Amino acid sequence: MIRVGIDVGGTFTDFVLIDTKSGEVMYFKEPSTPHDPSEAIETGLASALAKYDLKPEEIEFVGHGTTVGTNMVIELRGAKTGLITTKGFRDILEIGRQMRPDVYNYRVIKPIPLARRQYRIEVSERVDARGNVLVELDEAELRHGVEYLAREGVEAVAICFLHSYLYPEHELRSESIVRELMPGAFVSRSSDVLPEFREYERFSTTTANAYLGPKFENYLARLVERLTKLGISAKPYTIHSNGGLMSIDTVRRYPVRTCLSGPAAGVIGSAVIAAQAGYKNAITFDVGGTSTDVSLISDGTPHFTTSREVASYPIKTPMVDIHVIGAGGGSIAYIDSAGALHVGPRSAGAVPGPVAYMRGGVEPTLTDANVVLGRLNPVAILNGTMPIDLDGARRVVEEKIAIPLGMSVEQAAYGIIRIAVSNMARAIRSVTTQRGVDPRKYAFIAYGGAGPLHGVETAIECGLSRVVAPREPGTMCARGILVSDISLDFVQSKIRPFIFECWSSITSEMEVLRGEAERWLASEDVPPSQRQYENVLEARYFGQNHEVQIPLPNPPPDAETFLWEFEHAHRKEYGYSLPDRQIEIVNFRVRGSAPSLGTASHCQQPNGKLEAAIIGRREFFVDPDVKWVDAVVYARDRIPVSTRITGPAIVEDMSSTCVIFPNQVAFVDAPGNLIIELNKKSGQ
């Protein structure tokens, strides 16, 4: 039987197929179709069925990561959205936290609220911070407002009342009235999407969920239709931001949880790869067509967060802690009005793409610079299936960058790469040194189509000594989907003091959430024997504004153990503890999960001599001092295990290219990773 992992990226859609009986792994890419991402999925699967002589009924699992939700928020292409809220609070989305993202920058433009002010309706109702009803819901006023939204053609409605995480009845009644008067609208209520306190983040997340809902549902419907058309009956799963899988039905309900869909899968896959290679701690470095995504893995576990911004909109939902910058192969190089060279964040994307791809691109990109310098194959990539226009790439770099700056085309292309590498290195420092983490103690796992291409120089910039490039690194996110668990997080805010005598009531709250998780796993057809649960309490000292997370085993420990764990976690996070200060419990969390049925698939590298892996030679440009060097080009899948390669060399596979600079040494380890040992004076 066949398991399929698909990652829809900005430039390419990646596919990984694993035959669960033979262990054979198949990798390939298709150009993405931004107008309808499901089209590239259909094209790729149809090609796979034909190329590998597969029958549709042999496909037992389809999992996919998607940037559909993220792109809708970035490009403001979501549905016309209304907001129903407590009287006096409709401007929360604009007021926010009254915090400047850059204190001294007076030119910062706040994002346009996803629900415009004319579609934000106030209703008389009020619940206090203890969950007591102060003002009953005015249903006549509500109906009048909903009728207005219907007349205005609103497609999605977010319902966000004050303190509804404690008393959801007003939201539930409002939801039923909206569905009655607007039967075709997508309805999202905060007590369902995010039953946590802090109204700004709750309102923003719920509104984003509504904003994404209608068009995301259309996308999912097209995806299912295309799979059915191919004869594939397996229900597709989607990876969401916490690195877990959920069914189409759950995605329809919570599309906001997919905002880091694909990148999260890459981190999950990297954790498996790192463990196989013997590394407990790793920095993940994912460079695709439009962005660079970096994250940390410590003691074999990815770092998680419960809040981040997507295109400046706060999204509060459990997710892998990934730092994203606009630096990828398609990032456009340009000269600003002061004559300075910049790279990104604007990207050529899949269409028109880099000039070298011959799909209509007219702006110089990072990919074009690599083609000019011989680091990327100047004839064709993707195993020869995608021709490259070297002359076009050279011409656009020369005309748009080199001539205006009065330098050679090689210097201009090198400058583009160095600026991009500098941006990537800053992203790595933001998750390491800026958080007190020494990156030299972490393995550097470079993947994505352009990760290994820039991994060496970026690692040197950060003072690292080794780069690990997994097999077919350009498809790592798709591969990660195949080792991801089914999972979903459930949360409830109930702020209460930690008192020894009340510990049993605190643990009973966890049991309520566990019941919700159990019902969800049952709806996902997970057998009881495979259901797993993780408990977390979020707590703080009285007077603090932020919480620390305390994982609890099953069954929960006694109160004394919790107290010790809290003080330990607080010291780890802040460097101190306050034994005499009252502790507050803030949030209760339970993650329901089921282990993946996939495998990490060990690579079978060939035996024999290194010479059998040579597929040619070409020159590439190292730097303005060394200039051009002659390098051997190797086919990645033909390199024997443990055989050492001395730079300068280039290693190519279907999905990516690794550049090994002079005086550097590389080898393939037993799991199939290409390990590059760095000389800090090379490649600069």
What's the mean pLDDT in 320-343? 91
The answer to whether 428 and 283 are in contact (CB under 8 A) is yes
What's the mean pLDDT in 71-96? 92
Q: What angle do CA 305, 309, 315 make, to 5 degrees?
A: 70
Nearest residue to 636 (alpha-carbon basis) of 676, 599, 677, 684: 676
Pairwise pLDDT comparison (621 vs 263), residue with the higher score: 621
Question: What is 76-215's CATH number?
Answer: 3.40.50
Burial 338-369 (b: 16+ CB within 10 A, else e): eeebbbbebbbbbeebbbbbebebebbbbbbb
DSSP-assigned beta bridge partners for residue 159 = 84, 189
What's the mean pLDDT in 559-565? 94
The answer to whether 590 and 534 are in contact (CB under 8 A) is yes
Q: Which of the four pLDDT bands, split at 50, 70 and 90, describes residue 680? A: very low
Distance separating alpha carbons of residues 8 and 70, to the nearest angstrom = 12
Residue type, 498: F
Contacts with 367 (C-beta within 8 Å, 6 or more apart), sequence order: 329, 330, 354, 356, 357, 376, 393, 450
Contacts with 75 (C-beta within 8 Å, 6 or more apart), sequence order: none
Q: Which of the four pLDDT bands, split at 50, 70 and 90, describes residue 559? A: very high
Going along 22-125, which residue ranges are E strands? 25-31, 59-65, 81-86, 120-123
To the nearest whole percent, how much of the chain has pLDDT over 90?
74
Going along 116-235, which residue ranges are E strands? 120-123, 126-127, 133-135, 156-160, 186-189
Distance separating alpha carbons of residues 335 and 419, to the nearest angstrom = 12
**pLDDT one-digit tens code per residue, 35-58:** 899 999 999 999 999 999 999 999
Q: Which of the four pLDDT bands, split at 50, 70 and 90, describes residue 681? A: very low
Nearest residue to 161 (alpha-carbon basis) of 124, 130, 187, 186: 124
**pLDDT one-digit tens code per residue, 400-436:** 999 999 999 999 999 999 999 999 999 999 999 998 8
Q: Which of the four pLDDT bands, split at 50, 70 and 90, describes residue 603? A: low
Q: Which of the four pLDDT bands, split at 50, 70 and 90, describes residue 11? A: confident
Q: Which of the four pLDDT bands, split at 50, 70 and 90, describes residue 512? A: very high
In this predicted structure, the answer to whether residue 120 has a pLDDT above a threshold of 90 is yes
Phi, psi of 39 (to 5 degrees): -65, -45
Q: In which residue are the tokens 């408990």 written?
A: 535
Q: Which of the four pLDDT bands, split at 50, 70 and 90, describes residue 102? A: confident
Model pLDDT, residue 105: 79
In this predicted structure, the answer to whether residue 508 has a pLDDT above a threshold of 50 is yes
Model pLDDT, residue 67: 80
Architecture of domain 486-594: 2-Layer Sandwich (3.30)
To the nearest whole percent, how much of the chain has pLDDT over 70?
98
Q: Which of 39-48, 90-99, 205-214 has the lowest mean pLDDT?
A: 90-99
Model pLDDT, residue 49: 94
Q: Which of the four pLDDT bands, split at 50, 70 and 90, describes residue 327? A: confident
Model pLDDT, residue 675: 94
Contacts with 391 (C-beta within 8 Å, 6 or more apart), sequence order: none
The distance from CA 412 to its chain's CA centroid, rounded to whole angstroms, is 32
In this predicted structure, the answer to whether residue 300 has a pLDDT above a threshold of 50 is yes
Phi, psi of 466 (to 5 degrees): -150, 140
Nearest residue to 532 (alpha-carbon basis) of 588, 489, 576, 564: 489
Distance separating alpha carbons of residues 530 and 526, to the nearest angstrom = 7
Q: What's the mean pLDDT when you consider all of the chain?
A: 91
In this structure, what DSSP letter does residue 158 have? E
| Residue ranges covered by each domain of the chain | 2-72+218-258, 76-215, 486-594, 610-677
Q: Which of the four pLDDT bands, split at 50, 70 and 90, describes residue 602? A: low
What's the mean pLDDT in 486-511? 91
Element of type H or E holding 630 = strand 628-635
Contacts with 299 (C-beta within 8 Å, 6 or more apart), sequence order: 280, 281
pTM, 2 dp? 0.88
Q: Which of the four pLDDT bands, split at 50, 70 and 90, describes residue 598? A: low
What's the mean pLDDT in 62-88? 90
Question: What is 2-72+218-258's CATH number?
Answer: 3.30.420.40
Q: Which of 203-207, 243-247, 260-264 has the lowest mean pLDDT?
A: 260-264
